[in-house]
């Protein structure tokens, strides 16, 4: 217990739910320390005032609730989408990209309050423990991290409920009755669903599980056309109306959700080594990825695009595995951001029953598309087609050498 007594103040990433409410009391009892709560509004769509009231009722004196929606999209989501990041070819990293932001503010609150430890409610099986802690150590190297799920024996919902009852911790009625048959995590970029009945990879979730997207079958029978304006790789306006980053994503979620866009059912590889099945809704992000690639197709050099595509899977793994603040991610981000100075213009999209179709793209200042050279009609000598013969013969040289060698060996 000598080690436990060293902790005087701990900042807890607090949601107000069952797990983190139990953690407040558990930290108070087992570490005998002052607990400070930090709750981030990153667009999870829930009223956060109840979390403040619950923390106060549990004796927490320092309570921090911060609106981080604009910072989340501007400093984390937008930079990630400049890279067209997809984990394992499909996942848009909605949970992964939120964790470094929370870790950053946990550390800031710890510094402000003189706390010597931070705590979180991530389990010892998942990715989030890695993301929170790598982020915290990168920003506050000597911080103490307390992860109750790796220490306590409250390893089931029933045990958590008994602990809550024993200590008078208020529990939401739905949670007591079992609530949803899976766990959810929401922010402005997505909603994720995992655990419970979804742990059977063959199980098809009920339609009622999805929260922000309609079924594609029930989406409007007529397509909707939208136009996105880009400046340096980021969306700055929708249909001619300039919006802040968070409002851009909010509006794209609304529009995309109405058309059944952005559902994903995935078995992925967690960083800790096991496979995990998750279902995701990312309507705005799905639109953003398609539109950004369309904008880049017009404004980026062929080899720059190829280099970005080569680097993207590695960049996505850095984010998924929790290395947002690592020197390699920062270095790679500088390269990606440098490529975006010419990604300016507009993209038109058609949204229809779960699909996103690019119908046009334009850039007044940065388009590399030269109609005179690309045309199949008479180009007036802008391109000499006879040049292609030498180009092809030079590129075929190694193939011809190899073929002649095979011929001699016969």
What is the rounded distance in angstroms from the CA atom of residue 12 to the CA atom of residue 171? 18
Q: Is 101:72 a contact under the CB 8 Å cutoff?
A: yes
Cβ proximity of 24 and 14 under 8 Å:
yes
Q: What is the DSSP string of 16-41?
A: SSHHHHHHHHHHHHHH--EEEEEEEE
Sign for the CA dihedral angle at 337, 341, 342, 345 comes to positive
Q: How far apart are the first and last CA of the chain?
A: 80
**Which amino acids are annotated catalytic?**
19, 99, 128, 183
Closest C-alpha among 50, 1, 53, 59 to residue 25: 59
Strands (E) across 183-261 are located at 183-186, 191-194, 224-231, 234-238, 241-242
CA dist 84 and 354 (Å) reads 20
Phi, psi of 153 (to 5 degrees): -110, 15
Considering only CA atoms, which of 127, 259, 263 is closest in space to residue 192? 263
Q: Which 8-state DSSP code applies to residue 87?
A: B
Could you give the residue ranges of the DSSP H alpha helices within 259-352? 283-299, 302-320, 327-339
């Amino acid at each position: 217990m000598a080690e436990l007594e060293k902790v005087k103040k701990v900042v807890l990433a607090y949601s107000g739910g069952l797990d983190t409410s139990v953690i407040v009391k558990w930290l108070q009892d087992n570490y005998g320390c002052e607990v400070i709560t930090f709750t981030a509004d990153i667009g999870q769509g829930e009223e956060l005032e109840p979390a403040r009231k619950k923390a106060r009722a549990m004796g927490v004196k320092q309570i921090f609730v911060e609106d981080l929606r604009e910072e989340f999209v501007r400093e984390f989501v937008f930079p990630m989408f400049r890279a067209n990041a997809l984990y394992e070819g499909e996942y848009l990293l909605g949970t992964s990209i939120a964790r470094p932001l929370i870790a950053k503010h946990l550390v800031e609150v710890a510094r402000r309050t003189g706390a010597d430890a931070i705590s979180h409610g991530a389990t010892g099986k998942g990715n989030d423990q890695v993301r929170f802690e790598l982020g915290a150590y990168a920003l506050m190297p000597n911080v103490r991290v307390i992860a109750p799920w790796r220490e306590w024996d409250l390893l089931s919902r029933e045990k958590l409920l008994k602990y809550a009852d024993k200590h008078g911790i208020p529990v939401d009625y739905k949670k007591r009755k079992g609530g949803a048959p899976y766990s959810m995590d929401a922010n402005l970029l997505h909603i994720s669903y995992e655990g419970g009945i979804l742990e059977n990879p063959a199980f098809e979730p009920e339609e009622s599980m999805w929260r922000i997207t309609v079924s594609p079958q029930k989406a409007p029978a007529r397509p909707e056309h939208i136009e996105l304006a880009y400046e340096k790789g980021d969306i700055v306006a929708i249909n001619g109306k300039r919006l802040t980053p968070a409002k851009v994503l909010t509006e794209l979620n609304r529009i995309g959700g109405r058309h059944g866009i952005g559902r994903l059912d995935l078995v992925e590889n967690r960083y800790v080594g096991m496979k995990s099945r998750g279902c995701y809704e990312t309507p705005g992000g799905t639109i953003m990825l398609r539109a950004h690639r369309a904008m880049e197709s017009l404004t980026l050099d062929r080899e720059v695009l190829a280099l970005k595509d080569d680097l993207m899977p590695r960049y996505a793994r850095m984010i998924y595995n929790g290395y947002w603040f690592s020197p390699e991610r920062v270095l790679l981000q500088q390269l990606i951001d440098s490529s975006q100075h010419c990604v300016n213009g507009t993209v038109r999209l058609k949204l229809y029953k779960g699909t996103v179709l690019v119908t046009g793209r334009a850039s007044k200042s940065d388009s590399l598309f030269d109609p005179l050279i690309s045309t199949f009609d008479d180009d007036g000598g802008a391109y000499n087609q006879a040049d292609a013969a030498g180009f092809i013969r030079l590129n075929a040289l190694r193939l011809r050498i190899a073929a002649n060698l095979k011929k001699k060996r016969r």
